Amino acid sequence: MRVRTRFAPSPTGFMHIGNLRTALYAYLYAKHNNGDFILRIEDTDRERFVEGAVEVIYSTLQKSGIPHDEGPDKDGGVGPYIQSERKNLYKQYAEELVRRGGAYYCFCDKDRLNGLADENGIRKYDKHCLHLSQEEVQAKLAAGVPYVIRQNIPTEGMTEYEDMVYGTIRVPCADMEDEILLKSDGMPTYNFANVVDDHLMNISHVIRGNEYLSSTPKYNLMYDAFGWERPRYMHLPPIMKDATRKLSKRYGDANFEDFIAKGYLPEAIVNYIALLGWAPKTNDEKMSLQTLIDSFDVDGISKSSSIFDDVKMRWLNAQYLKELPEEEFLRMATPWLEQSQAKGYDYALLAHLLQGRVEILSEIPEKVAFLNQFADFDKELYFHKKLKCDAALAKEILPIAVDVFQTTEPFDNQTLFDAFGAVCEEKGIKKGQLLYCLRAAVTGVPSTPGGATEIAVLLGREEALRRLLFSIEHLSTEA
């Protein structure tokens, strides 16, 4: 049997991280087994449809490097791949299910349905219309009485199946309700459409969130009533925001485009979410998409939920940034430099200094803010316990740097660094102390992307000297 998986998102907004992980696992499983990955758009819930959301789905999969083999834009012979374009199919199969006894017409109006609520407001359909005679059903259909088609679930017994992650799942038939399969407008509910579509598209493995664990028996009853082979199921644990709350786009939690906008790399996002609920047999954490494909197996999927860790994801993104070719990092960093205080400075040099010192690209404006925001004096900047530095020491040793700035030729990093090494050795000063105080003096901030001499070169001789003299003057005033 050829492995065929599918990703079937609803176009209701941005691509939530949980949805993207489902797509990723379906893709990884298919490709690990030399199978097909199908994209299907489930747009039957027109009330929740968001204009432009279909384009977001395409864009996210493309940026994530998760290509589909078949879909609305890649016909594999089992389309259409958009549910709203398959409406007539669902009506045809719903009526066939009625003939097979797996469903029935229901003509109950809202008043009757509302009257079924118990003291807690919970309603469960009572199979009233199942007991209508064939003649009564045909008469109502001929008269144009509005109807839905409901699933006919046995009232007794147990239904069970084997999940690839959670093992044997058993649900009493009495716990399930005869839910609507075909609505009065002729559109299917998810409960029905996903079964018909998965069968007609030859889906071999259904991969989705574990919230469907208890619903899957209903789907299996339909497969059985039609005489179709059931697919295999792989249900995935949830991704949690914290110990008690799931990540949810309803509450504005993480979505793919938000992370891109913050300066995360798509491959880092994909790498990180692959590890949210699955672990490779090795201890590797940074893994290319091909490595993920080669390594992915069901045994590595956890039954327990995973907590989304921003710190871990930032760390992983930093590893990807560090390994970029310098010209590629410069290309990615340039838009962030353009909106920062760095205009007029050497972007290539800045990118060189920043590459190993940022975790996400959106940190860049803050990292370089000192370039055009040098005004305030703070003597606490000179304090460093390990180096035994303070403002008094800075006042004593910084004047030495003035002559080095004025006379060093060429004014580049290595020459400056060597010059400071020589003068410190000559005067018996610890080079680490001088360079630490010097960086504070020319930047006015506690940390920068680069050391004192690198920042001095970036600023240029004239500006670096101006800032140094400014700080020396204020150190004297403070004293």
The catalytic residues are: 249
Give the Å distances, CA to CA, from 8 to 27, 38, 84, 237, 325: 12, 8, 13, 18, 36
302/140 Cα distance (integer angstroms): 51
DSSP state of 189: P
**Residue 318 CB partners (closer than 8 Å, separation 6+):** 358, 359, 360
DSSP state of 308: -
Which of 49, 55, 88, 89 has its CA nearest to residue 73? 55
* Contact predicate 461/411, CB 8 Å: yes
DSSP state of 85: G
Which of 343, 346, 468 has its CA nearest to residue 416? 468
Residue 149 φ/ψ, nearest 5 degrees: -115, 125
130/179 Cα distance (integer angstroms): 13
Instruction: Give the count of beta carbons closer than 10 Å to the beta carbon of residue 393.
Output: 20
37/203 Cα distance (integer angstroms): 9
284/452 Cα distance (integer angstroms): 36
Where is 458: in which H helix or E strand?
Answer: helix 452-459
227/329 Cα distance (integer angstroms): 56
**Owner of token pair 């493309």:** 62
264/289 Cα distance (integer angstroms): 16
Q: What single letter denotes the amino acid at residue 76? A: G
Give the Å distances, CA to CA, from 402 to 208, 393, 419: 66, 16, 12
